[in-house]
Amino acid sequence: MFFSKAICLQGAIALNEQVLQACKELIDDAKMSCADLVFKEMCLEILSKARQVLTERQFKQLVAYASERMEEKIPFEMRQELVAQR
């Protein structure tokens, strides 16, 4: 009984790690393809949904990651490309 619960827990942890990685990739994609304000809105949406499925430690990790990405400035050339695409 304990062994099967341990295997189930390991599977859940592996799945959570995949969800965490997917969230980081979504944040990265949004950073590269959205205007700053839209990017921040998307981050908040991703974080609100991730809160429901990640562990506390993973959620804090994702919040820190999103925070770092929000503070980064995109190069001026890239910003001009984003504006030109609209």
pLDDT, tens digit, for every residue of 71-86?
A: 887 665 555 555 565 5
pLDDT of residue 73: 76
Neighbour count for residue 86 (Cβ, 10 Å): 5
For residue 53 the two structure tokens come to: 């499925």
| Inter-helix orientation angle 36-50/2-33, to 10° | 170
pLDDT of residue 72: 85
User: If we measure between CA atoms, which residue out of 23, 12, 31 comes closest to residue 62?
Assistant: 23
Rounded-to-integer distance, Cα 42 and Cα 34, Å: 9
pLDDT of residue 45: 95
pLDDT of residue 6: 47
Residues of the chain with pLDDT under 50: 1-3, 5-9
DSSP class per residue in 29-68: HHHHHS-HHHHHHHHHHHHHHHTTTS-HHHHHHHHHHHHH
